[in-house]
Amino acid sequence: MRILRRCIVFISLWLLLPISAFAQQKPGVQPSALDQLARNSGYIFSGTVIAVQRPVPRENAVAYTQISFRVDKAIQGVGSGEIFTIREWSGLWDSGERYRSGERVLLFLYPTSKLGFTSPVAGPLGRFAVDHVGDIHISDPQHTFLSSNRAHLQFAGRTRVSSREFTHAILHASENEHEQIR
């Protein structure tokens, strides 16, 4: 019963985080989708999955999946070349959000919770595939999200963007949003 209660609390907090973060915005300022992702992130990086483990949970503990990444390009909260390990609630893994060893991704991750967990900001919208040359692949749902409130003309009609261009867009969106709030 305690495990079920912990899972319900964790899921509730995980679902409410984006709502509370967006509610803190200054009235009249509509940040870009990239800025929304970046603002809610504790960690932003592209990297390669080097290990995926599903430890057997201790009694009365929340089940989790542990994923280790080699950070290829650090944007926020981590360093390039570092091995960065996260814990995700196993419910995400069970719902289909999985990682494979050798997979390359660009992630916008929430800050680590008090329970030691994190997950992509906005679910699958905060997880981008990276190809063998380092280009970022933008899925149809991500494309719709990125253009939802302030069009990113540099991405219009494109399904692949260079890592450098995508990183520049993230940093530029954050700078513009900070200027509007001041």
24-28, 121-125, 153-157: segment of lowest average pLDDT: 24-28
Measure the CA–CA gap between 105 and 163, rounded to whole angstroms: 11
What pLDDT digit, counting tens, does each position of 26-45 carry? 444 456 788 899 999 999 99
Topology classification of domain 2-18+32-181:
OB fold (Dihydrolipoamide Acetyltransferase, E2P) (2.40.50)
- What's the mean pLDDT in 100-122? 97
Query: Does 58 score more than 60 pLDDT?
Result: yes
Q: With cut-offs at 50, 70 and 90, classify the pLDDT of residue 59.
A: confident
Residue extents of the structural domains in the chain: 2-18+32-181
Measure the CA–CA gap between 132 and 152, rounded to whole angstroms: 24
Measure the CA–CA gap between 44 and 170, rounded to whole angstroms: 10
**φ and ψ at residue 45, rounded to 5 degrees:** -165, 160
pTM here is 0.78
C-alpha of 111 from chain center: 10
Query: Does 76 score more than 80 pLDDT?
Result: yes
Average pLDDT value for the chain: 81
Q: Enumerate residues 6+ apart whose C-beta is below 8 A from 51.
A: 66, 67, 68, 101
- Copy the structure tokens of residue 102: 């050798």
Q: Are 52 and 64 within 8 A, CB to CB?
A: no
Measure the CA–CA gap between 106 and 170, rounded to whole angstroms: 12
Q: Enumerate residues 6+ apart whose C-beta is below 8 A from 100.
A: 49, 52
Dihedral angle of Cα 147, 46, 75, 93, to the nearest 10 degrees: 80
What pLDDT digit, counting tens, does each position of 131-149 carry? 999 999 999 999 888 876 5
